């Protein structure tokens, strides 16, 4: 970007997908609308991408953080297409479709895609054995329970407990939540995590009936895609491609922003590479607890509220096997474990069954997920111990005794935001308090959605809002 006297400098702090999306939107708008903008993106780590990290080990492709993009929210795949990645989008493997729950001592397949007929789906569910007969009876109350009035926010456990009963919360909702939020259904807000469910009740009265009608694929661009997709060579491709398209923006890897001050009519940054002056606006796209620390001297009210957004730590542990060593090939995409089973992992994904191009023909890649609100102490173990814990769990839960060809451990420290009850109101309050400080914006997984599509949308939307006020 050519800088002239009227050039507005904008800083983006954090090079995860939210910060990258914000910087990308700023650069394309600047190009298309001939705006005199100069964008600096600061990332404390050597690499861009934040939680999105793909590594290769020979023919194995390891998505260490996120491994799938939800297609029901269009913004992730839209960005992939815009970046010319359409041909690299891969669907989940239909032939292995299915997830199991570890319940009452063994893996039990969750009914999933068992045909389009309602009666078959209901029959599959009832015969799955995931919950007891009395719980199945209690769950069926959802079909007849009244909608109930509009409520203040409540926990997922309160909402689902009311509709489906306590056992369903413990054995179905809890493991599903751990797989997405690494969180505790007794603390997480139903409105900020899955607003779709209260909407279902308001519209159709019953969650079960709404789910039975729910599509298992999405029309996306010119294709019909399953609910989850990925990129052939891993989601790291999204980071590579978006960074290549930030032409004009200056990227500063391995530079940590330690302080934010007012300076003249704008903002100055204290960074590990020295002081940088003259920013008309700053987008804070680092985790909320980092952004809170930076905002404290300037916007203490917003900072105090941002500090109350809890983050949890997790780890992913990969196991590559020779397929013939496994004996029977594991079924489905993997399994999830309810807290009440008292295990030390939250679940495992059979990556080779979920996506193609992840392992050689004779190989099999598995990934265990540890940590979050409930198995947090396991993440304190060193790598060797963590691998040992996961191997023991895979043996006891899934009967896998094989010696892995290699293992890899990835740590995600304080990187999982928890949308506790009251989160939506908290975000409104943060936004209102920040509105008193023109030129300061926050974006990222801590606020309006943790998935890649949400972070892309929020990053881009934040950039658009900024442009409205800075270039107006
Ligand atoms: C193990 C795991 C599995 C997941 N699975 C999925 C999935 O399958 N699908 C999905 O959609 N989502 C998934 N998610 C969630 C999703 O990946 C994240 O919510 C999202 O990538 C977060 O993006 P972000 O830009 O908000 O934050 P981050 O990716 O955390 O990026 C923030 C960046 O800010 C940088 N930073 C921090 N402090 C500073 C500073 N002072 N100065 C400069 N830079 C700083 C950090 O280094 C980091 O790069 C998963 C997350 C994890 C951890």
Which of 215, 249, 266 is at the close of a domain?
Answer: 215
**pLDDT value at residue 115:** 43
Selection from 430, 444, 441, 429 nearest residue 466 by Cα: 441
Q: What is the chain's Cα-based Rg?
A: 23
Instruction: Count up the domains in the chain and report the number.
Output: 3
**pLDDT value at residue 311:** 96
The tokens for 105 are 């001592």
**pLDDT value at residue 313:** 94
| pLDDT exceeds 80 at position 82 | yes
Statement to judge: residues 305 and 425 lie in one domain: yes
**pLDDT value at residue 416:** 94
Mean pLDDT of 323-337: 94
Statement to judge: residues 305 and 430 lie in one domain: yes
Q: What is the CATH number of the domain that holds 16?
A: 3.50.50.60
**Closest atom of ligand 1 relative to the 412 alpha carbon:** 53
Assign 3-class secondary structure to 391-402.
HHHHHHHHCCCC
Residue with CA at minimum distance from ligand 1 atom 50? 66
The model's confidence at residue 120, banded by pLDDT at 50, 70 and 90, is low
Statement to judge: residues 279 and 423 lie in one domain: yes
Mean pLDDT of 130-135: 86
Which of 15, 16, 80 should be mutated for ligand 1, with most atoms under 8 A from CB? Answer: 16
Confirm whether 229 is domain-assigned.
no
How many angstroms is it from 53 CA to the middle of ligand 1? Answer: 9
Residue 459 beta carbon below 6 angstroms from any ligand 1 atom: no
Statement to judge: residues 427 and 412 lie in one domain: no
Residue 306: phi and psi, rounded to 5, are -65, -35
Confirm whether 31 is domain-assigned.
yes
Statement to judge: residues 321 and 300 lie in one domain: no
Confirm whether 100 is domain-assigned.
no
**pLDDT value at residue 207:** 85
Statement to judge: residues 302 and 435 lie in one domain: yes
- Residue 177's domain comprises 114-215
Statement to judge: residues 59 and 189 lie in one domain: no
Confirm whether 356 is domain-assigned.
yes
Residue 286 beta carbon below 6 angstroms from any ligand 1 atom: yes
**pLDDT value at residue 123:** 56
Which of 44, 50, 192, 294 should be mutated for ligand 1, with most atoms under 8 A from CB? Answer: 50
DSSP 47: S
The model's confidence at residue 470, banded by pLDDT at 50, 70 and 90, is confident
The model's confidence at residue 196, banded by pLDDT at 50, 70 and 90, is confident
Residue 179 beta carbon below 6 angstroms from any ligand 1 atom: no
Which of 13, 14, 182 should be mutated for ligand 1, with most atoms under 8 A from CB? Answer: 14
Statement to judge: residues 273 and 331 lie in one domain: no
**Closest atom of ligand 1 relative to the 443 alpha carbon:** 26
Confirm whether 463 is domain-assigned.
yes
How many angstroms is it from 452 CA to the middle of ligand 1? Answer: 9
Summary mean pLDDT of the chain: 91
Residue 455 beta carbon below 6 angstroms from any ligand 1 atom: yes
Residue with CA at minimum distance from ligand 1 atom 52? 65
Residue 263 C-alpha from the chain's centroid: 36
Statement to judge: residues 315 and 365 lie in one domain: yes
**pLDDT value at residue 126:** 61
Look at residue 367 and give its three-state secondary structure.
strand
Which of 180, 215, 250 is at the close of a domain?
Answer: 215
Statement to judge: residues 125 and 200 lie in one domain: yes
Residue with CA at minimum distance from ligand 1 atom 21? 51
Residue 68 beta carbon below 6 angstroms from any ligand 1 atom: yes
Statement to judge: residues 79 and 62 lie in one domain: yes
Statement to judge: residues 279 and 132 lie in one domain: no
**pLDDT value at residue 114:** 41
Look at residue 281 and give its three-state secondary structure.
strand
Confirm whether 101 is domain-assigned.
no
**Closest atom of ligand 1 relative to the 416 alpha carbon:** 53
> What one-character-per-residue DSSP string does 145-180 give?
S------S--BHHHHHHHHH-HHHIIIIIHHHHHHH
Residue 311: phi and psi, rounded to 5, are -125, 145
**pLDDT value at residue 136:** 86
Could you read off the pLDDT of 34-79 as tens digits, one per residue? 999 999 999 999 999 999 999 999 999 999 999 999 998 999 999 9
Residue 332 beta carbon below 6 angstroms from any ligand 1 atom: no
Confirm whether 3 is domain-assigned.
no
Instruction: Give the percent of the chain with pLDDT over 70.
Output: 94
| pLDDT exceeds 70 at position 2 | no
Residue 285 beta carbon below 6 angstroms from any ligand 1 atom: yes
Which of 215, 246, 273 is at the close of a domain?
Answer: 215
| pLDDT exceeds 70 at position 324 | yes
Q: What is the CATH number of the domain that holds 331?
A: 3.90.660.20
Confirm whether 75 is domain-assigned.
yes
Q: What is the CATH number of the domain that holds 207?
A: 1.10.3110.10
Residue 236 beta carbon below 6 angstroms from any ligand 1 atom: no
């Amino acid at each position: 970007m050519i800088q002239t006297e009227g050039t507005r400098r904008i800083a983006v702090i954090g090079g995860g997908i939210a910060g990258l999306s914000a910087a990308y939107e700023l650069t394309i708008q600047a190009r298309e609308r001939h705006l005199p903008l100069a964008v600096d993106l600061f990332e404390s780590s050597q690499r861009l991408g934040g939680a999105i990290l793909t590594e290769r080990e020979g023919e194995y492709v390891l998505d260490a953080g996120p491994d799938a993009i939800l297609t029901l929210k269009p913004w992730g795949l839209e960005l992939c297409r815009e970046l010319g990645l359409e041909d690299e989008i891969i669907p989940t493997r239909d032939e292995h479709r299915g997830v199991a729950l570890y319940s009452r001592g063994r893996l039990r397949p969750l009914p999933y895609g068992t045909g389009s007929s309602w009666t078959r789906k209901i029959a599959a569910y009832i015969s799955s054995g995931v919950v007891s007969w009395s719980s199945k009876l209690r769950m069926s109350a959802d079909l007849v329970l009244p909608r109930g009035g509009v409520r203040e926010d409540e926990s997922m456990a309160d909402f689902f407990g009311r509709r489906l009963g306590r056992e369903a919360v413990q054995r179905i909702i809890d493991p599903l939540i751990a797989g997405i939020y690494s969180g505790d259904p007794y603390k997480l807000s139903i409105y900020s995590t899955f607003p779709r469910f209260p909407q279902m009740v308001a519209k159709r009265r019953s969650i079960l009936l709404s789910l039975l009608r729910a599509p298992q694929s999405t029309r996306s661009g010119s294709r019909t895609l399953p609910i989850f997709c990925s990129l052939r060579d891993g989601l790291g491709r999204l980071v590579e491609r978006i960074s290549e398209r930030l032409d004009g923006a200056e990227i500063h890897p391995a530079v940590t922003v330690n302080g934010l001050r007012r300076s003249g009519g704008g903002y100055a940054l204290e960074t590990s590479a020295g002081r940088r002056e003259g920013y008309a606006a700053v987008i804070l796209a680092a985790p909320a607890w980092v952004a809170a620390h930076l905002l404290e001297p300037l916007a203490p009210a917003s900072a105090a509220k941002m500090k109350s957004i809890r983050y949890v730590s997790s780890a992913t542990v990969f196991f590559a096997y020779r397929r013939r060593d496994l004996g029977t090939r594991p079924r489905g995409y993997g399994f999830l474990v309810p807290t009440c089973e008292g295990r030390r992992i939250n679940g495992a994904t059979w990556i080779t069954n979920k996506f193609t191009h992840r392992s050689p023909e004779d190989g099999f890649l598995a990934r265990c997920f540890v940590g979050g609100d409930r198995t947090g102490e396991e993440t304190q173990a060193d790598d060797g111990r963590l691998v040992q814990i996961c191997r023991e769990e895979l043996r006891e839960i899934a009967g896998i005794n094989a010696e892995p060809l290699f293992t890899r451990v990835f740590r995600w420290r304080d990187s999982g935001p928890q949308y506790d009850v009251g989160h939506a109101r908290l975000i409104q309050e943060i936004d209102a308090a920040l509105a008193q400080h023109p030129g300061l914006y926050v974006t990222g997984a801590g606020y309006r959605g943790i998935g890649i599509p949400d972070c892309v949308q929020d990053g881009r939307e934040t950039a658009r809002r900024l442009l409205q006020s800075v270039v107006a």
